[in-house]
Chains A and B, each alone.
Chain A
Amino acid sequence: MDYTKQIQDIAGRLFSEGKIDIFIGYRNTGFDENQVPVLIHQYKDVDQLLFTDKSVFNLANYLKYEHTRNKRVGLIVKGCDSRALNLMLTESQVKRENLYIIGIACEGVVNETGEKAQNCVECMMPDAVVYDELLGSATGKREYQVNADIRELDEKTLTDRVEYFEEIFENCIRCNACRHSCPLCYCAKCCIDQETATLFHGANTTSSAFHALMTWSLHLAGRCVDCRNCEKACPIHLPLHLLHKLNEKVIYENFQENLAGMTEGDRGAFYKYSLSDPDDFIL
């Protein structure tokens, strides 16, 4: 999977036609084989751009910051990224007319060891779902399946599961990199940072990191697209996907939904009301 040339051409064309102010893409770090996101402002920089199976980051994340707000932006999205972008569009965080989207029919990216990333192995929708131009050939949606690690977690009793999470999140240093790297965590003032949140913690028996991560995961329930930007950003490599994938399973069982952001306008299971919603709890 190498679309470097096509992307350089498209970005160059967009700049020369004056259609965009900023292009968000990937470039080499310059000191190793890995890539980092880059924001390009002018035509002469487009030769920095590249796209290979090391283009791991979700670029939709850069649409939530001040420097892209209300600017005309070109960007590259893989399948998962495009779904996050769809949710941002649905939740009025970006305007579609400001975007030029290069969608990728993704074949999966690799992790640091060169193996296919776990979320790409499990990926249910590798093709970009929103784009102006699609690179590669679409392969379509795949079956939903619950993976072994999640099934194991789900089978634990409630107390065991709390203990398990307490243990693995014990090392969290509350740096909030997970939040900053998530395209769907765009709130101007995060609830975790509000004064009332510390009071909540006063009444809580859990650790502050666990409490913060649980709140965070619930705010992403039904919205998380499994791009794993958070895990890539986490300096101590916490398995944050466990929270999201477990939520995904619960939501799938109750609402038969497993893919957030497949279409623009779909807000996810928690933010809509349907007559067929389960209501077994009504006495």
Chain B
Amino acid sequence: MARVGVFVCFCGANIADFVDVPAVTEEAKKIKEVKYAIEYKYMCSDPGQQMIRDAIVQHRLTSVVVAACSPRMHEKTFRKALSDAGMNPYLLEVANIREHSSWVHQKDKKAATEKASDLIRMAVAKSIANEQLHEISVPVTKRALVIGGGIAGIQAALDIADARIPVVLVEKSPSIGGRMAQLDETFPTLDCSQCILTPKMVDVASHPFIELLPYSEVMELDGYVGNYKAKIKRKASYVNFDTCTGCGACWQKCPVKVPNEFNMGIDKRKAIYSPFPQAVPNKPVIDAEHCTMLLKGKCGICAKVCEKGSIDYTMQDEIVEREIGAVVVATGYDLWDPSPYEEYGVGRYKDIITSLEFERMVSANGPTGGVPVRPSDGKVPKRVVFIKCVGSRDEAKGIEYCSKICCMYTAKHAILLHHKVHDSHAYIFYMDIRAAGKGYEEFVKRAQVETGATYLRGRVSKIYKKGENLMVRGEDAQLGQVVEVEADLVVLATAIYPYKDNPDLARLLGISYDKYGYLSEAHPKLRPVETAKAGIYLAGCTQAPKDIPDTVAQASAAAAKVCGLFAGDTLKKDPMISTVNTEFCTGCQNCVTVCPYQAIVTEEIPLGHGSKEMRIVAKVNEGVCQGCGSCVAICRSMAIDLAGFTDMQIINEIVSI
């Protein structure tokens, strides 16, 4: 006979304000199997846990129901309390009467109380069918995969490698460095971006624990935490990196010119190229889409001038496999396309550029040698209008969120403009100035005072051409009047947006993403670098817009998580896994195809007792199964059951209300 104990939590006021906790406890006492029920202010506190431990012993409980917050919050806490009292921890059921009742039904206390009682009744019914389960140990491969070689990926890779854990760093472009390599100087200290980044890039290349795979992409990720298997495509570079010295003869002589992505298309690069002088590895690759030799079979100049004979036009994409235990995703950000702002004349007027284009222009190694120029006539602009929140915070045309860094980099741009063109003047249209951060507010002040930039609060309604210049019409909300500014150049602070292929990557990795394509963290506050999938972590702007300090901090946090995961020789795994009842299994193998973890294989068993004929049935690999339940749902003959969530337990729950 089941003897269930019910422990109802007030959660301070969180539950008690909207649910009549004593009434719920009284209601629980009426359930036949409940032998003990009590409420307490904070069940998760030490005295609260002690109540559970004592009751288990005193009332010889066979299972425990805690009615409190989400099991994601404190299931582990209460499981531990059970095992401390000598009870199998999986005999615990959590009834979530906070997120599922008090928080969502704040306007109706009576209904919330009834619902809380129902939730408890269901948990009690389920707990009666609970079985004793035991943790599973699985071995762990101590090697990490870092996807993306921007500052986030670089920092994570270095931190993990410094803990003497091997790292595979995969970067899709020919060089690591990412967006930060494109920046000129960084706020709020104005130190040169490349000067602080390149030493780290060199460290990556020379680190004995880092295997750098540039010009590569992750194609597949199989397995589970501690035991992933990654398939990585090494795109054909047509250059033998082992013999190439990076002398540059090839790209000097290459006759094909292509818009330079690194410089946001402002100038041209060659078909064989290294993206920037400080590139790591500093070896060129051939752009197969534009190389005449690869397209038409004529040219071959780079091969002729290469003294080392490193050019190999026959090179093919290569798939390499790596066994890894954890993944850090740091794929960074793209820019939001501002073309919906038709009234700004985006695309029509050449002298409207994006902030990253401006950044490349003022950069010392940029296409214009560090001086901003007008794309239309190459003149140095004197009056520059910066428009903030292009795309950001605009529900109508753009996106709802704040891109976080635009206030700061626009202030920086005003300062940089003043440094490069002394007699220039910056006009900045803004909605708010968001400068929360160490030294940030001071930095904005510096832009306003030192460079005399004119900050105009209001949105721009129209940009039109007047002669050679642009007229920017906007509102000055503080004066309450329309202002018109004549500008030589307009810079749009376009929003940060995730890469288009982020959702594809997320699906490939089996993690979730939001409506924009940002990868989702497991908990917005308490698990900001983890994903919902064990062993996969996030760093940098792939999760949300961030500035460099935040990105670096998150990358280090992700690295710490990886190191923590690898601290032991085995990983403990929840025993909530599937089992196959071979008697009912028809061997259709639909479960094999739907299993996202490739955890189900087939085996042959005798057709009947003592029979020589064989039949195929499914078999679950314990180490690989994550207990997602896809196979349970797909199995038509109900031959698969999930420990901890058996059909019997779920039916008990449904029948109880």
Partner of B655, one of A189, A203, A267: A203
**B638 and A282 contact, CB distance less than 8 A:** no
Residue A199 at the B interface, CB < 8 A? Answer: yes
Counting chain A CB atoms within 10 Å of each CB, the highest count among B504, B512, B583, B636 belongs to B636
Query: Which of the 9-residue segments A124-132, A145-153, A239-247, A270-278 touches chain B?
Result: A270-278
Q: Which residues of A contact B651 (CB under 8 A)?
A: 196, 199-200, 203
CB-CB under 8 A from A2, the residues of chain B are none
B590 near A196 with CB under 8 A, answer: no
Asked if A256 lies at the interface with its beta carbon under 8 angstroms from chain B, I say: no
The chain A residue with its CB closest to the CB of B586 is: A187
In the complex, are the beta carbons of A187 and B583 less than 8 A apart? no
Cα separation A29 to B123 with both chains bound (whole Å): 58
Once the chains are docked, how many angstroms separate the CA of A272 from the CA of B583?
A: 25
| Given contacts A199-B651, A282-B513, A187 and B584 within 8 Å (CB-CB) | yes
Q: How far is the CA of A63 from the CA of B54 in the complex (A)?
A: 61
CB distance from A62 to the nearest CB of B (A): 17
Q: Could you tell me if A188 and B507 are in contact, using CB atoms closer than 8 angstroms?
A: no
- Do B637 and A271 touch across chains, with their CB atoms under 8 A apart? no
Q: Are A189 and B593 in contact (CB under 8 A)?
A: no
**Is A191 interfacial (CB 8 A cutoff)?**
yes
- Give the most central of B590, B596, B655: most A CB within 10 Å: B590
Chain A: which residue is nearest B656 at the CB level?
Answer: A203
Chain A nearest CB, measured from B409 CB (Å): 30
Find the residue from B584, B588, B613, B647 having the highest chain A CB count within 10 A.
Answer: B588
Q: Once bound together, how far apart are the Cα atoms of A24 and B200, in whole Å?
A: 74
Is B377 among interface residues, defined by CB-CB distance under 8 A?
Answer: no
Q: State how many angstroms separate the Cβ of A92 from the closest Cβ of chain B.
A: 5
Size bracket, chain A contacts = 20 to 34
- Chain A 178-197 interface mask (CB, 8 Å, partner B; 1/0): 00000000111111001010
Question: Is B587 located at the chain interface by the 8 A CB criterion?
Answer: yes
- Quick check: B587 and A92 within 8 Å, CB to CB? yes
User: Across the interface, do B655 and A70 meet the contact criterion of CB distance under 8 Å?
Assistant: no
Q: How many A-B residue pairs have CB under 8 A?
A: 64
Q: Does B588 lie within 8 Å of A191, measured CB to CB?
A: no
Question: In the complex, are the beta carbons of A187 and B589 less than 8 A apart?
Answer: no
* C-alpha spacing A219/B634, complex, angstroms: 9
Q: How far is the CA of A101 from the CA of B507 in the complex (A)?
A: 41
What string of 1s and 0s marks CB contacts (under 8 Å) between A152-195 and chain B? 00000000000000000000000000000000001111110010
B residues in contact with A191, CB < 8 Å: 636-638
| CB <8 Å contact, B588 and A93 | yes
Q: Report A-chain residues with C-beta under 8 Å of the C-beta of B136.
A: none
Asked if A202 is at the interface of the complex by the 8 Å CB criterion, the answer is yes
Asked if B648 is at the interface of the complex by the 8 Å CB criterion, the answer is yes
Known A-B contacts A92-B587, A282-B512; the reply to A271 vs B654 at CB < 8 A is: no
Are A188 and B584 in contact, CB atoms less than 8 angstroms apart?
yes
Bound-complex Cα distance A203 to B122 (A): 13
Interface size on B, residues (CB 8 A): 27
Q: What's the Cα separation between A188 and B634 when bound, in Å?
A: 16
CB of B638 within 8 A of CB of A199, answer no
Contact with A199, one of B504, B584, B596, B655 (Cβ below 8 angstroms):
B655
B221 to chain A, nearest CB (A): 14
Shortest CB distance B40–A (Å): 32
Which residues on B sit within 8 Å (CB–CB) of A270?
A: 634
- Digitize B569-587: 1 where CB-to-A-CB distance is under 8 Å, 0 elsewhere: 0000000000000011011
Partner of A271, one of B587, B594, B613, B648: B594
Measured CA separation A189–B219 after assembly (Å): 40
Which residues on the B side are within 8 Å of A194 (C-beta)?
584, 638
Q: Which residue from chain B places its CB closest to the CB of A197 in the assembled complex?
A: B638
Q: Specify which chain A residues have a CB less than 8 angstroms from the CB of B504 in the assembled complex.
A: 275
Cα A143 to Cα B453 with chains together (Å): 66
**B514 CB-CB contact with A under 8 Å:** yes
* CB pair A189 B584 closer than 8 Å: yes
8 Å CB interface, B436-478 against A: none
Q: Which residue of A lies closest to B648 (CB)?
A: A196
With a CB–CB cut-off of 8 A, which chain A residues contact B507? 275
The smallest beta-carbon distance between B399 and chain A, in angstroms, is 16
Check: A9 CB closer than 8 A to any chain B CB: no
Separation of A200 and B651 alpha carbons in the complex (Å) = 7
A187-B593 Cα distance, complex, nearest whole Å: 18
Residue B279 CB within 8 A of the other chain: no
B616 touches A92 (CB 8 A): yes
Q: Which of A69, A196, A271, A272 sits near B638, CB closer than 8 Å?
A: A196
**Bound CA–CA A272/B512 (angstroms):** 19
CA distance A189 to B596 in the complex (A): 26
Q: Which residue of A lies closest to B636 (CB)?
A: A219
Interchain CB contact under 8 A, A271 and B590: yes
- Interface: B515 (CB within 8 A): yes
Given A92-B616, A273-B596; A186-B586 close (CB under 8 Å)? yes
Cβ-defined contact, A283 with B594, below 8 A: no
Q: Give the nearest-CB partner of A70 in chain B.
A: B613
Which of chain A's residues has its CB closest to B635's CB?
A: A191
Interface string of A85-127 (1 = CB under 8 A from B): 0000001110000000000000000000000000000000000
Given contacts A200-B651, A283-B514, contact A272 B593 (CB under 8 A): yes
Query: Which partner residue on chain B sits nearest A191 by CB separation?
Result: B638
CA distance A190 to B584 in the complex (A): 8
Residues from chain B with Cβ under 8 Å of A190 in the complex = 637
Q: Complex: how many Å from CA A283 to CA B85?
A: 41
Q: In the docked arrangement, what's the CA distance between A188 and B638, Å?
A: 11
In the complex the two chains form, what is the Cα distance from A196 to B158 in whole Å?
Answer: 54
Query: Which B residues lie within 8 Å of A187 (CB)?
Result: 584, 586, 636-637
* Interface 1/0 per residue, A251-283 and B, CB below 8 Å: 000000000000000010011110100000011
A91 touches B588 (CB 8 A): yes
Residues of A within 8 A of B514 (CB): 283
CB pair B636–A188 under 8 Å, yes or no, is no
Q: Which of B620-652 contact A (CB under 8 A)?
A: 634, 636-638, 647-648, 651
0/1 string, B333-362, CB within 8 A of A gives 1: 000000000000000000000000000000
Report B206-261 residues with CB < 8 Å from chain A CB: none
Q: Cβ of A69: which chain B residues have Cβ within 8 Å of it?
A: 613
Bound complex: CA A203 to CA B651 (Å): 8
* Binary contact track B494-523/A, C-beta < 8 Å → 1, others 0: 000000000010010000111100000000
Bound Cα distance A91, B592 (Å): 11
- Please measure, in the bound complex, the distance between the C-alpha atom of A190 and the C-alpha atom of B613, giving whole angstroms: 22
* Alpha-carbon distance between A185 and B513 when the two chains are bound, in angstroms: 38
* One of A92, A189, A219, A273 near B589 (C-beta < 8 A): A92
Closest CB in chain A relative to B369 CB, distance in Å: 44
**C-alpha spacing A267/B583, complex, angstroms:** 23
**Chain A residues within an 8 Å CB radius of B596:** 273
A273 to B636, CA, bound (A): 18
Taking a contact as CB atoms under 8 Å apart, the answer to whether A91 and B613 are in contact is: no
In the complex, chain A residues whose CB is within 8 Å of the CB of B584:
187-189, 194
B251 to chain A, nearest CB (A): 36
Contact among A186, A271, A275 for B634, CB-based, below 8 A? A271
Supposing A189-B583, A275-B507 touch, asked if A267 and B593 sit within 8 A by C-beta, the answer is: yes
Interface positions, chain B 580-612, Cβ under 8 Å from A, are 583-584, 586-590, 593-594, 596
A-B contact pairs, 18 of them (CB 8 A): A70-B613, A91-B589, A92-B589, A93-B586, A93-B587, A93-B588, A188-B583, A188-B584, A189-B583, A189-B637, A190-B637, A194-B638, A196-B651, A199-B655, A200-B654, A271-B594, A273-B594, A282-B512
Q: Which A residues have a C-beta under 8 Å from some C-beta of B?
A: 69-70, 91-93, 186-191, 194, 196, 199-200, 202-203, 219, 267, 270-273, 275, 282-283
9 further A-B pairs in the complex, CB-CB below 8 A; given A199-B655, A273-B593: A91-B586, A92-B589, A187-B637, A194-B584, A196-B648, A267-B590, A271-B593, A273-B596, A283-B515
Which 9 pairs from chain A and chain B are nearest by CB?
Answer: A91-B588, A187-B637, A203-B654, A191-B638, A219-B636, A199-B651, A271-B590, A189-B584, A203-B655
A-binding residues in B (CB < 8 A): 504, 507, 512-515, 583-584, 586-590, 593-594, 596, 613, 616, 634, 636-638, 647-648, 651, 654-655
